[in-house]
C-alpha cells in the first residue's frame, strides 16, 4: 500500500478529514505541518511516503526540499502563491467564490474523469502558466477572468488545474471537507493519483 502525506497548517487538519476518508481505503494517510529542511527528517519523508499533498502556502524555505522530493515523489499542490515548482507569468487571478465544473467540458484526458460528473471548486483562481504542461481543469462556457475592467480569459482558456510530469497543480480548493461534499471530487482525486502514479518510478 502506498503512503500519502498531507501537508496542512497544524490547526486545519480537521478541514481535510473528508479527503483522508476518501483515500484511507487505498492509501496509508498521515499529516504534517510542513516539509522540514532538516536532512534527516527529509530523508525520513522520502523513505516513508510516495505521494505528498501541499494544502497550505509553500514557504520559500521549503523550495529546496520540494525540488528534491520532485525527483522521486508524486506531488499535488493547492497553489496559493508563486513558491511552487511551475512558472506562472501572472499573479493568481480570482474568478469566483465557488464553481461547479462539468466533467464532460474538461480538456484533461478521460481517465481523470471516470465516474465523475461534477467537480466543485472553492475560491478558484486562474493560473497563467508559462511552461508546457497538460491542462486538467478548465473553465465552463460562462467562466471569465477579469483584469481590471478587461476580460482576460474566458471559457476553456481559464485554467484551474495542470499536470507537469509527476506533479499536479490546482489553483482552487478541491480538497477540503466543503469541496468534497456534494461533488465527485473524491473520485476525481483518486483517478488523478492513479494516473500520476501510473508507470512513475516512485520510491
- Domain with 170 in it: 3-197
62-91 tens-digit pLDDT: 999 999 999 999 999 999 999 999 999 888
Considering its fold, how many domains does the chain have in total? 1
- Could you tell me the CATH number of the domain that includes residue 150? 3.40.50.880
* Cα pseudo-dihedral 134, 110, 171, 24, rounded to 10: -120
Residue 56 within any structural domain of the chain? yes
Residue 202 within any structural domain of the chain? no
Residue 203 within any structural domain of the chain? no
Residue 69 within any structural domain of the chain? yes
**Comparing C-alpha atoms, which of 77, 175, 179, 176 is closest to residue 129?**
77
Alpha carbon distances (Å) from 48 to 69, 126, 195: 12, 33, 21
Place 203 in a pLDDT band, splitting at 50, 70 and 90.
Answer: very low
Write down the pTM of the prediction.
Answer: 0.94
8-18 tens-digit pLDDT: 999 999 999 99
Amino acid at each position: 500500500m502506498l503512503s500519502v502525506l498531507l501537508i496542512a497548517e497544524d490547526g486545519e487538519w480537521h478541514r481535510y478529514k473528508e479527503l483522508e476518508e476518501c483515500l484511507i481505503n487505498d492509501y496509508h494517510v498521515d499529516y504534517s505541518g510542513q516539509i522540514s529542511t532538516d536532512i534527516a527528517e527529509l530523508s525520513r519523508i522520502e523513505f516513508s511516503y510516495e505521494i505528498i499533498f501541499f494544502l497550505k502556502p509553500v514557504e520559500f524555505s521549503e523550495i529546496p526540499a520540494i525540488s528534491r522530493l520532485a525527483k522521486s515523489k508524486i506531488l499535488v499542490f493547492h497553489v496559493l502563491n508563486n513558491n511552487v515548482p511551475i512558472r506562472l507569468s501572472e499573479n493568481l487571478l480570482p474568478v469566483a467564490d465557488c464553481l461547479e465544473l462539468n466533467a464532460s467540458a474538461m480538456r484533461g484526458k478521460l481517465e481523470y474523469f471516470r465516474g465523475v460528473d461534477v467537480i466543485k471548486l472553492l475560491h478558484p483562481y486562474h493560473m497563467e502558466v508559462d511552461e508546457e504542461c497538460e491542462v486538467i481543469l478548465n473553465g465552463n462556457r460562462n467562466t471569465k477572468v477579469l483584469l481590471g475592467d478587461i476580460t482576460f480569459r474566458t471559457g476553456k482558456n481559464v485554467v484551474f488545474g495542470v499536470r507537469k510530469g509527476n506533479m499536479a497543480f490546482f489553483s482552487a480548493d478541491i480538497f477540503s471537507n466543503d469541496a468534497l461534499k456534494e461533488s465527485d471530487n473524491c473520485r476525481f482525486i483518486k483517478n488523478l493519483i492513479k494516473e500520476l502514479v501510473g508507470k512513475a518510478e516512485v520510491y
